[in-house]
Amino acid sequence: MSKWYAIYSNILHLHFSEGFYNLPESAKNAVSPASPIKRLLKMAGYTLVRLIGNLFKKVEQPQKLQGKVWLYVVSQNNYDSLRFLKDGLPNAVFVAGQSKEIGKYNQAVARISLRRKVLYYYKFFPLYFQFIKYKKLSTNRFTDILYDAIGFYEVYLSKLQKYKPAAIVFANDHNADARAMLLAAKAAGIKTAYIQHASISPIFPPLDYDLSLLEGQDALDKYKLCGAITGRVELVGMPKADTFIKYRTYNQSIKSIGVGCNLMDATEEIIALASQLANDFPEVTVILRPHPRDNRDFEKILGSYPNTRFSDSRQVPTFDFLKDLDVLLSGNSGIHLEAVLLNVWSIYFNMNRSEKLHDYYGFIQKGLIDEAATYGQLQSMLQQNLTNRPHVYKRAQYFNAVIGSPYDGKSSELALKHLKEFINS
């Protein structure tokens, strides 16, 4: 087993794990097409648009990167999770890879040039054959993910040695580019910190940062299942929720129902649920919110219902969507926890009956949310509580360490305190 296989196996820990391979196809399709032809087309597109396209773009601004605290982000959600640090850490700068899509924040991040990434693709076939030897099924299914990952580590290591950031703060611990940055930082002797930005799964990589700021006991317990934890761990709640705690709803009646769907949910089942709700509860506003990567045109299909609205997740932050709700319906999504923090009654409703991925995050098992197994059961639950909606936010105490404490709504202060001590130590 070569040094490079060990590095890339670490970088690809989640997507090349047995647990991820055994997920339903709908979950895997979100990161890699099921069709081998589409995977080849994805690799070809990546080669032309990213690898070759990056050669002709100068994006790096050294003065923004040298000696700063890097807030490394790989998505719009990551940016939202770390945004509170920008004012609290004057020496901090948001950083992303050259062509990484950060949604509405694309112009707000300093970019790391990936021009030289193409130089490392001579490693692809040697790595491919080693991955085939040790992880044949995952390699055949996720060749495109391996292909995309090549070169991140090597380029990032050279950039870190050049710019010597004071520390790097992450909000993602499992994407290939974020894993590559973490391993490069360790090799370069640079401090690393991690702030949890979403719910955790036991198939995630082991927690391996100098400082990890987790939301609550649930995340810590799940990371213990992932492997040995290194570095210091603190439980700080959810900083990105702080400014919205004042919007906790204490409505007794149900006037709005949100449907949070993602790429794992079947189109026909999403439409059926939203249309049934619109018909059966004409006095209630139904707000459908697809995932940011979901390009299905539900608005065109459901626009005829006068009590149906849409929330654009590319433009409207999650908590802005949730603060207008009394009830949330969703399948396997971390949005359940965020809803309960705002005292929104959250109900698990499976919108893909063909695949059996039940309670992926353990929210039902731990009593955070309720479950409706059929639409008839859901309709009955809603009808019985139309004027007597349950208050649920204290159910989140196991998941969010500050609920009911003096730091409830002040997670940002607590996280910033730990980070400043860590960076200045």
Indicate if 252 and 149 belong to the same structural domain: no
In a domain, 420, yes or no: no
pLDDT value, residue 1: 61
Q: Is the pTM of this model over 0.85?
A: yes
Gap between the terminal Cα atoms of the chain = 37
Indicate if 92 and 31 belong to the same structural domain: yes
Indicate if 133 and 261 belong to the same structural domain: no
Indicate if 123 and 33 belong to the same structural domain: yes
**Number of domains present in the structure of the chain:** 2
Q: Please identify, among 200, 227, 242, the residue that sits at the C-terminal boundary of a domain.
A: 242
In a domain, 411, yes or no: no
Provide the greatest CA pair distance for the chain. 65
In a domain, 423, yes or no: no
In a domain, 342, yes or no: yes
CA distance 179 to 120: 17
Indicate if 235 and 307 belong to the same structural domain: no
pLDDT value, residue 177: 97
Indicate if 81 and 225 belong to the same structural domain: yes
- CA-nearest of 339, 138, 198, 187 to 257 is 339
In a domain, 366, yes or no: yes
Indicate if 268 and 237 belong to the same structural domain: no
Q: What is the CATH number of the domain that holds 389?
A: 3.40.50.2000
Q: How far is CA 82 from CA 42, 76, 130, in A?
A: 30, 10, 37
Full domain range(s) for residue 387: 243-398
Exposure string over 213-246, b if 16+ CB within 10 A, otherwise e: bbbbebbbebbeebeeeeeebbbbbbbbbbebbe
The mean pLDDT values, 10 residues at a time, for the chain of 425 residues are: 92 96 87 95 92 89 96 94 91 95 94 96 96 96 97 98 98 96 98 94 95 97 96 96 92 97 91 95 96 83 86 90 97 94 97 86 95 97 97 96 94 96 93
Indicate if 172 and 231 belong to the same structural domain: yes
Confirm if 234 and 418 have CB atoms less than 8 A apart: yes
In a domain, 407, yes or no: no
Indicate if 290 and 216 belong to the same structural domain: no
In a domain, 403, yes or no: no
Indicate if 168 and 20 belong to the same structural domain: yes
Alpha helices, H only, 227-308: 267-280, 298-302
CA distance 367 to 220: 17
pLDDT value, residue 138: 97
Q: Please identify, among 190, 217, 242, the residue that sits at the C-terminal boundary of a domain.
A: 242
Indicate if 347 and 233 belong to the same structural domain: no
pLDDT value, residue 366: 94
Q: Please identify, among 184, 215, 242, the residue that sits at the C-terminal boundary of a domain.
A: 242
Q: What is the CATH number of the domain that holds 233?
A: 3.40.50
93 DSSP 8-state letter: E
In a domain, 421, yes or no: no
pLDDT value, residue 274: 94
Indicate if 235 and 374 belong to the same structural domain: no
